[in-house]
Each structure stands twice: as structure tokens, then as C-alpha cells.
Amino acid sequence: MGFLSSIKEFLSKTGISITYSALLLYYAYKRSDTPIWAKRIITGAFGYLLAPLDALPDFTPFLGFTDDFSVLSYGLVTLAAYVDMEVRIQARKTLTSWLGKVDLDQLRVIDEKI
């Protein structure tokens, strides 16, 4: 079982915005020209997202995955230079294969922030 398949179920439950953000970071990580410092930021963001200590706040009404989305957003903004059109296309294809039809307006909001 690969990394993407192991987190697919978890991320699909957290909403399109978090899932798309995580996929953007994943595909930015896979780029050969992404430097080590950037890959460390991505690893840290995923570590926070998947940390068992973070599970309790995720079930809190109104807050939910806000902290997770904030960490992923910070990673995306910091690494915007490595989130090119190819990374976005790969993330969208994976998201569509996992969740079926997605609202492109939600994805556009994230793309405009990076």
C-alpha cells in the first residue's frame, strides 16, 4: 500500500480543500527540482496532519480541521514556486479519481492563494 492510498481515506473525509492542498504538497515534493529545505517543510506539514495527538481537535465542532488546513496552507504559500501547473494538474486528476466530480471553484480559491 503506497503513501497516497494509505491517506486517501483519511483525506477524503476532511474535505476537498484539505485534500487538494495535501495533494499539491505531495506532488511538489515529488518534483526533482524541489530543494531539501522545501521537502522538509512538506514532511512537517504531513507529520502534523497525520499526528495522532492532533486527532482530538479534529472532532471539535466549528474548529475541526481548521488547524490542519492552516498548516497545509502555510506550506503551500511557502513553497508556491514549486507548485507549478503540472503539479496542479496532477493533484486535480488524483482528486477527481478519488472523489469523482469536484467543485472547481473550491480548487480555484486555493490556487489563487498560492
Q: What pLDDT, on the 0 to 100 scale, is given for residue 24?
A: 93
In this predicted structure, the answer to whether residue 61 has a pLDDT above a threshold of 80 is no
Tally the domains of the chain. 1
DSSP H or E segment with residue 26? helix 16-30
Output the pTM of the full model.
0.71
pLDDT beyond 80 at 7: no
Q: Is the pLDDT of residue 111 over 70?
A: yes
Confidence of residue 27 (pLDDT cuts 50, 70, 90): very high
Q: Provide DSSP, 58-85.
A: GGSTTTTTHHHHHHHHHHHHHTGGG--H
From CA 79, how far away is CA 28, in angstroms rounded?
Answer: 8
Residue position matching grid coordinates 496542479:
88
Question: CA–CA separation, 61 vs 43, rounded Å?
Answer: 27
Question: What is the structure's pLDDT at 19?
Answer: 85
Residue-wise pLDDT for 31-58, tens only, equals 999 999 999 999 988 888 777 665 555 4
Could you tell me the residue range of the domain that residue 85 belongs to? 3-113
